Amino acid sequence: MPGYSTMADLIQQVIIELRLESGPSVQQYAEDVIARKIQRIFNSIFHEYWLPGYTHNGLVFTLDGTTGTVVEDLTPVLKRAEDIRYVFYEGEQKPLNRAPEVFNPIGMTGGYRRYWQPTAITGKHFRILPLNTAGQISLHCRVRPDPFTATSEVIMDEELLIAGAVYDYLVDDKENEMAIKKWEGIFTKRESQLRQQLNSGPVPFGQSAYNPLTEWMTNP
């Protein structure tokens, strides 16, 4: 996706910003440490927000009609059930509710209200109740990327990542309180702008995967 920085580019931009701050420790840079900080900030933001660059809408899969799972292997697109945003059944426009944590599927057959729930079945991550539900489902989910390498393109606001990494680095350094406060403010403001931008998107009718009121903002 054009217009985004690689991990190597982000590391160099963090170093440039650190060079502008006083303090002997921030003049000694460990690129592997900076990379870890950028990765950690990315992971935190990825978990909190549904980022368009990593969110897939309307992926269609076929239910096996027996176990409640889909026929296809979901490994390429789904690594955790928490990355599911919505599950739609067939042509319905209202997403399925997530089943309660304590829920007995025995005896449920066609005619019961449909739910989805996480499952430990390898390559599936979720199933539909009743288990004998047949047909197709449309999955809205985020695709969790593998840990970044130097050449990986990071599809996230670079100013947010840079500010977060600089702030984290300065906090560890503990020698420049004014710089720490400055970069904390820059990071907080940038994250607030990201939240406002995502909040401007549409919210479909019905309950979301985790929280129907804040699904465009964060996970609980």
State pLDDT tens for residues 85-106: 999 999 999 999 998 877 777 7
Q: CB of 97 within 8 A of CB of 115?
A: yes
Residue ranges of E strands in the chain: 55-62, 84-89, 97-98, 115-118, 126-129, 136-142
Neighbours of 183 (CB within 10 A): 24
Give me the pLDDT at residue 166, please: 94
Of 124, 160, 163, 168, the residue nearest 51 (C-alpha): 160
End-to-end CA distance of the chain: give it in Å, rounded: 29
Q: How far, in Å, CA of 187 to CA of 192, rounded?
A: 9
Of 97, 103, 80, 95, the residue nearest 137 (C-alpha): 95
Give me the pLDDT at residue 204, please: 55
Indicate the pTM of the whole model.
0.80
Q: Domain segments of the chain: what residues? A: 7-47+155-199, 52-142
pLDDT beneath 50: ranges in the chain: 1, 206-220
Give me the pLDDT at residue 63, please: 97
